[in-house]
Amino acid sequence: MIRKEEFELKRRLSAKTLEETFKEKMREGLGCSNFEAEAVLETVKEVFFPHSIEDVSPGQMVVLAISAKEPASKPLRDCSFLPVVLTLHAGEEDDLLRQREGVEALRRRQLARMAREALEQGALLTLEDFAYRIFNCGRRTVSRDLAALREAGETVPLRSQQKDIGRALSHRVEAVRLYLERKSYSQIAERIHHSQAAIRNYVTTFAAVAAMTRRGMGAAEIAFVAQISPALVRDYQELLARYDDPEHAERLQEVISRLGGEVVELAGRRAKKGGGRG
């Protein structure tokens, strides 16, 4: 405990010394007043070091990540980035995991933990962030880790998973699958890291697709009426076929009866009016 307090004191003193050195350089090199040097220092800290040294503990790192508010269609060069504090090494618990299960297991725990930490701070990490900036490994290594985590039932909230980039539509299917297995909206939200409102929308859209499929409508027609992509229609139809069995028949019919007919009617009216994609 005493050693930790001494370490924290040294860090604070070091930071204070650097700040004073910077202000002295501003005063002597640019002829700034004390007020101007202080103002420039505060601006630099706000932009480049928004987290004070007390905010970052040993084992943590600060990384710039894309704001979770940025849409998938926006080019990365135009996106806003947020500095987030990530826990690369959580101390004894990480050391014990490495001893018991090896380096891969530890890296996967770190990957899932840091992705959740970034999301909690309003940002989303990417596969490239982990490969090139955090773990310094190949993309395939991170892809294998993500696949292993998915197989174990853990959803990692990367930007691709949250923003429907590429084939990351799987989180919608996963949300509906869990709902068909009688998980609550709150349980699903905790599992896949999406809002309950978004999950309700996924289930409602699935119900509409299922209802229209049972009416004999084709995928292209369903996509037009429901204002979703043909790829998502096919994903939902595959899920419908998988769960259209005696074990899940009651739940499936409950979802379609409660939500499907109403949504089909609303979607049809919207399509006739020329409404946009939902």
Q: What is the pLDDT of residues 171-215, one digit of tens each?
A: 788 889 889 999 999 888 877 777 788 889 889 999 999 999 988
How many Cβ atoms are within 10 Å of 263's Cβ, its own excluded? Answer: 21
Q: 56 lies in which domain range? A: 50-166
- How high is the pLDDT of residue 85? 92
Cα-to-chain-centroid distance, residue 225: 29
Last residue in a domain, options 166, 194, 220: 166
Q: What is the pLDDT of residues 119-148, one digit of tens each?
A: 888 888 988 999 999 999 999 999 999 889
Q: What is the pLDDT of residues 240-259, one digit of tens each?
A: 999 888 888 899 888 888 77
- How high is the pLDDT of residue 101? 94
Q: Please tell me the total count of domains within the chain.
A: 2
C-alpha closest to that of 155 among 209, 199, 115? 115
pLDDT higher than 50, residue 233: yes
To the nearest 10°, the Cα dihedral for 172, 176, 179, 184?
A: 20
Burial 114-129 (b: 16+ CB within 10 A, else e): bbbbbbeeebbbbbeb
Could you tell me the two tokens for 45? 């800290």
The pTM of this model reads 0.52
Does residue 88 come out as left (phi exceeding 0), alpha (psi in the -120 to 50 range) or beta? alpha
| Shared domain check, 125 and 83 | yes
| Shared domain check, 194 and 119 | no
DSSP element (H, E) containing 64: strand 60-67
237 lies in some domain: yes
In the chain, the percentage of residues whose pLDDT exceeds 70 is 79
Last residue in a domain, options 144, 166, 188: 166
Phi, psi of 84 (to 5 degrees): -125, 145
Report, as an integer, the average pLDDT of 8-37.
73
